[in-house]
Amino acid sequence: MRSRGGALSAVRPSLAEVVASNSPRLLGHAPHSHEVPELVYVVTGRAHLEVDEDSWPMTARDAVWLAPGVVHALRCEDGSMVFGALLSPGTRPQAMAQLLAPMPELDRLMVLILGAAPNGEEQIRPFRAALDTLLAPLAEDRFPVRSPRHPTAARVARSLVAHDLHDLSVQELARRECISARHLQRIFLEETGLSASRWRRRARLNVALRAIQGGSNITAAAHRAGYSSGASLQRALEREVGASALCEPGCVPGVLERPESGGDSEPSQG
């Protein structure tokens, strides 16, 4: 005898298709692009965003900011919901696709948009403006890094900041790509002006600072960026800008307060 839970699971896909205009939020969609930037936000569950032949696994509260014209496809796992918000033409990410750190302000704004269900340009305009205002400061990183053009180095660069690969060293990531660490470092220096290790540290600091700008506390921002504690994040920041620079007004968006001494050290690779 089938349980009621099993029966519900069996009919859920058909229910998701009842309102055709909203079914992509529950099931996903085929490859397409938009003439304006888009923010893809996972409300609940899990989804897989395909961008330029790369797969971006996403979970609840993850958001990817897409540039205009980026071809992307979406697949939602059962019981998941994803919301796509079109932005103003000038609200562009730094790259073709930019993964955002968790942002409590964005979470609250998305709940407001879904609850209000604006319909028509007049109703949508103020919500779009709110998203533009929230995302605008994230369009420029405190520590700019150039992405390497070399295909292998570009994959390593994505892995250097991937949430599930934080524990891997540059050497281990090089081995995964069947390239020597020395050759990889040479490519990074030639194409970005930074060693892979310093590139990773600057990229991680950007992730942390974006999270703080979005309302996360220092500990949560540190964990998101791959640091074991707020103290580790503080030490990485001091290593990049110098301890005295932390006292300069406006040096660091979000204002990092100095944590108490102690805590785990910064990952050696970052």
pLDDT above 80 (res 212): no
Give the pair of three-digit tokens for residue 8.
């519900």
More confident position, 2 or 130: 130
Q: What is the DSSP string of 122-134?
A: HHHHHHHHHHHHH
Report domain extents, the chain: 19-139, 151-247
Q: How far is CA 144 from CA 140, 201, 215, 245, in A?
A: 8, 11, 21, 17
Please report, rounded to a whole number, the percentage of residues in the chain having pLDDT higher than 90: 47
Q: What is the pTM of this model?
A: 0.57
Which CATH number applies to 151-247: 1.10.10.60, 1.10.443.10, 3.40.250.10, 1.10.10.10?
A: 1.10.10.60
Cα 248 to Cα 230: distance, rounded to the nearest angstrom: 20
pLDDT in tens, 43-83: 999 999 999 777 888 999 999 999 999 999 999 999 999 99
Q: 213-247: buried (b, 16+ CB within 10 Å) or exposed (e) per residue?
A: bbbbebbbbbbbbbbbbbbbbbbbbbeebeeeebe
More confident position, 41 or 268: 41
Tokens 């892979």 correspond to 196
Q: How far is CA 79 from CA 3, 49, 59, 114, in A?
A: 17, 16, 12, 17
Largest CA distance in the chain: 70
* 234 neighbors 201 (Cβ within 8 angstroms): no
pLDDT above 60 (res 137): yes
Cα 94 to Cα 245: distance, rounded to the nearest angstrom: 25
Tokens 């690779």 correspond to 269
Which residue spans within the chain are E strands per DSSP? Answer: 28-32, 38-44, 46-51, 54-59, 63-66, 72-76, 81-86, 97-100
Q: 155-176: buried (b, 16+ CB within 10 Å) or exposed (e) per residue?
A: bbbebbbeeeebebbbbebbee
DSSP, collapsed to helix, strand or coil, labels residue 231 as helix
pLDDT above 60 (res 14): yes
More confident position, 261 or 67: 67
pLDDT above 70 (res 24): yes
Cα 97 to Cα 39: distance, rounded to the nearest angstrom: 10
Is CATH 2.60.120.280 the right assignment for the domain spanning 19-139? yes
